[in-house]
Structure 1
């Protein structure tokens, strides 16, 4: 049995790192709670400190934000350097968009725009690699993006899924560090907010219009949601030996 409900009360919290005052862990947070993990939410950009060790945590999730992993802001450097903690302790780490780009920067890789200035804002196809297919059986064909930079593949990383405009879409480093360029965490309410507040980006090359974001959700979101649940089992439940 993958997940014994009777053992859930013993689970340590997952550290949740957000980058705006009103940011939410969305359905990543909802699913982790459903799977028995309390959430320890911190916002370093607002002054919250990150723990010196993850001994009291089941792992960490670092989410996205409108900033770049290349920005000079002190909290960007602090978070990027802090990733030494989960990597050294071999604790589960999941980086989403900015969180993945921070992982790449920490590992010595580059984060930069696509050479022609194209973005991924909306729904775009991905394809699992052989490594990805071996790890997970049900990859979605379309995923949701909201980014204007991508990352290369640092030494020691495995590529799990690739795309057309930005090749590196999902990566794994070591046993327990994972990075996603796309967003599976958005609830419908979150997507509606992103479409409203991010509308000025829809004129960028390769961006989709807001109506396509919401219409695409009706078509593509169910497989993405199912994949997210399986991914969280892989990252946090199997890694913490709860099976």
Structure 2
């Protein structure tokens, strides 16, 4: 077992009820983190808990990091993230969260060339193979997004895929961002599929095939994700 972070605070920024911490919740609690979840729409410029927390986890959502006109609260979230990251405070971004980290630091998120849904392979860079992402070598990861981003200044690319060149990056040892969903459990995946039937139909994606992928890959991904998060937490 890794280092117990007794009394440390973890603030989780949520953008969608069904996009929660998933399998990461138990591990953070095992490591002694006290978790506070804040809905992104409730953030304000005065949300100092997002600046001061020992750890911030920014979750996924169904909007783009660049959609600040449609989702005005993203302006405050991006500003808070920039302030936090300028102070090199530990931050983990998952899917939209990764895009927001990149966007906050000038990497610029944008609509992607294709929608990617389902378990896909990612290709680790040399830096990725020497990072906590090494646990995903040969392990398909769950994707559900149609956006991308440019790497911000100072970032190190950790993974790419056949669809997108930026699948994961780090900033020093204090920030880790992944475009996929390592936190996803099999149960969450089933719920996302049930609530995403219209989107799946729009893109010609077979829900039954996605469920078959879950049966083949979800447990393996969960194990790799837990190992990844645990190793990263040990560096903080």
Q: Any conservation in 2 of the 1:44–1:50 contact (CA below 8 Å)?
A: no
Does residue 1:238 correspond to 2:223, yes or no?
no
| CA distance 1:175–1:197, change in 2 (3 Å) | same
Mapped partners of 1:138, 1:158: distance in 2: 18
- Per-residue deviation, residues 18-73 of structure 1 (Å, max 9, x unmatched): 01345432111122112221211111314576325644x32100001111111122
Match runs of 1:32-111 below 5 Å: 32-46=28-42, 50-51=47-48, 54-55=51-52, 57-71=53-67, 72=69, 73-111=71-109
SS in 2 for 1:212: helix
Could you tell me the TM-score, scaled by structure 1's length?
0.86
| CA distance 1:54–1:233, change in 2 (3 Å) | farther
Does residue 1:184 correspond to 2:182, yes or no?
yes
| CA distance 1:11–1:3, change in 2 (3 Å) | farther
In the alignment, which residue of structure 2 is the partner of 1:194?
A: 192
Mapped partners of 2:87, 2:205: distance in 1: 40
| CA distance 1:110–1:204, change in 2 (3 Å) | farther
State the 1:101 CA deviation: 0.6
| CA distance 1:23–1:223, change in 2 (3 Å) | closer
In structure 2, stretches of 5+ residues that fail to align are none
In the alignment, which residue of structure 2 is the partner of 1:126?
A: 122
Mapped partners of 1:64, 1:230: distance in 2: 20
| CA distance 1:138–1:236, change in 2 (3 Å) | closer
Q: Any conservation in 1 of the 2:18–2:188 contact (CA below 8 Å)?
A: no
Number of aligned positions between the proteins:
231
Could you tell me the TM-score, scaled by structure 2's length?
0.88
- Per-residue deviation, residues 102-153 of structure 1 (Å, max 9, x unmatched): 11111112222333xx211111111111001011342243110111111122
In structure 1, stretches of 5+ residues that fail to align are none
Q: Any conservation in 2 of the 1:114–1:165 contact (CA below 8 Å)?
A: no
In the alignment, which residue of structure 1 is the partner of 2:148?
A: 150
In the alignment, which residue of structure 1 is the partner of 2:211?
A: 214
Mapped partners of 2:111, 2:92: distance in 1: 22
Mapped partners of 2:171, 2:152: distance in 1: 9
| CA distance 1:157–1:37, change in 2 (3 Å) | same
Mapped partners of 2:217, 2:193: distance in 1: 17
Mapped partners of 2:43, 2:195: distance in 1: 24
Match of 1:224 among 221, 224, 233: 221
Q: CA RMSD in A?
A: 2.1
State the 1:204 CA deviation: 4.8
